Structure 1
């Protein structure tokens, strides 16, 4: 009976994948089923931030894998729960948190929510519709009512910087071999450059650390030309009373909590200029 139910589940996932441009392997179908059981056990956390961190911790030691969304020749909603980069870690945690809060712990709700988070205005319309730059990710998810950018409220200052890394490094992105995709990215960068964004400078984080809450999404701003953010994670106030970061680490190559408080962790990153903070709502 269990085998029959499992096969029905796989068939259901495949049917949805075909209809909604979803890429979900059998391995990830199994991982989803396991994750739902884990999420159900922690759905009664005292607040949403605590729930997100509890969900994030279920991914501890999951391997860091780069470019997990660069699959095939056509953009699809990739469901990958066994290999995460820093952004897909945040997206998956937020998606599971939202469907848990809505008491809709099923595959359709998850994929709909993940698409809403990952794509501009929630519409999957090719490679260019994905929110590649994290400043746009924050802005667009704020307009959807999923997060609130609180950087300016906790001491952040306006930064005016030209964002054009993808457009000036076309050779690093296989999907940009397609002229249509490339031109869409150029238009995205042009739109981004009409706006300013706030960054809480590295030297100001310690004085404002008390304003950051467990569950806040942390984006690491960078001095690298043309780029806004190099890494993301989720804030967690640890036993030492300090803010640490739960993230898919490129150092340990797995999901972990930083051993050092965020303030000290950032000092070891030469290109870091500070952080942006988005609070899930």
Structure 2
């Protein structure tokens, strides 16, 4: 592994001190692997492509967009994480994605390439998704250890050194105020809550905490003027005018010919109900009257795992 030692030195040099202790170990597999991981063939093909094209040496944002582009055309599937009535486990479905799992899968795959050396297994990508989506990076087996609101994911990951919410630093940013109650009101739409209504009081407390978070956005009237601040691989959440939600959609930014283009998984039938590279984010915002603006979060790489420092012969 001739690149192992330089890569460790590089990664440790660029990561801030606060990010050195953020990688929690993966949770035990509580459900069959065939239940929580779909798309083995696509995963293997992605790994082969990433190794052949040396994605590992790219910055995180560029790696994320390479993965996201390779996933374009994947069918849109909602509620893909609802795989059991009670037992919670990180889930990856490369055969069908919604807007949230699309960005998670692309980012998780990109992080995996630098976090540990090959060979890669589905459990490695499940671990990356667990770090991004679960509170403090730990799936406890309970449904409420998963963060169900983007605003909490952004705040929790920033606190752990996994990302920076750059929105408040962008000119024109404005603070939003919302009363979040989507999951406590529409609880019957969620398999776990429908089968465990006793979780609703705690979910209500979580939504009250999310309501109090300091959430800033860039109003859509100002987005064209700030596209230059956006980079490949930035997570871009679409804010809405509904007082019961901060955000209604999420995707990634890819820079094409100087414009910040939105790539996302769309449920729109006229766009094919699949993952696509759409139009510049400014144009996308103006195609929907309910779109209010954007929140932009910039992920960070993980500290390299101990396996980079272990000779191949001993692994």
Shorter-chain TM-score bucket reads 0.7 to 0.9
Aligned pairs, how many? 263
- Tell me, yes or no, if the aligned pair for 2:71 and 2:275 is still in contact at 8 Å: yes
2:36 maps to 1:50: no
1:86 paired residue among 99, 104, 119: 99
Match of 2:89 in 1: 76
2:299 maps to 1:280: yes
Instruction: Point out the more displaced range, 101-110 or 121-130.
Output: 101-110
SS in 2 for 1:145: coil
Match of 1:110 in 2: 125
1:218-257 → structure 2 map (5 Å cutoff):
218-239=236-257, 241-251=258-268, 252-257=272-277
Q: Distance in 1 between matches of 2:157 and 2:165?
A: 9
RMSD: 2.0
Q: Distance in 2 between matches of 1:93 and 1:138?
A: 17
Cα distance, 1:22 vs structure 2:
4.7
SS in 2 for 1:218: strand
Match of 2:313 in 1: none
Q: Deviations over 1:238-265 (max 9, x none)?
A: 13x211111112222111101x211011
Change (3 A) 1:45 1:231: farther
Could you tell me which runs of 5 or more consecutive residues in structure 1 were left unpaired when the two chains were aligned. 1-16
SS in 2 for 1:114: helix
Cα distance, 1:69 vs structure 2:
0.5
SS in 1 for 2:228: helix
TM-score by length of 2: 0.78
Q: Deviations over 1:123-170 (max 9, x none)?
A: 113111111111111111112222110001113211111111111222
Match of 2:42 in 1: 31
Q: Distance in 1 between matches of 2:197 and 2:145?
A: 15
1:131 paired residue among 144, 147, 156: 147
Cα distance, 1:42 vs structure 2:
4.2
Match of 1:269 in 2: 288
Cα distance, 1:91 vs structure 2:
0.7
- Tell me, yes or no, if the aligned pair for 1:120 and 1:131 is still in contact at 8 Å: yes
Q: Distance in 2 between matches of 1:115 and 1:18?
A: 8
Match of 1:164 in 2: 181
2:147 maps to 1:147: no
* Structure 1 ranges of 4+ moved more than 3 A: none
2:84 maps to 1:65: no
Q: Distance in 2 between matches of 1:18 and 1:161?
A: 33
SS in 1 for 2:180: coil
Match of 1:179 in 2: 197
Q: Deviations over 1:194-239 (max 9, x none)?
A: 2221011111111111111111110001112311211111101113
Bigger relative CO (Cα 8 Å, ≥ 6 apart): 2
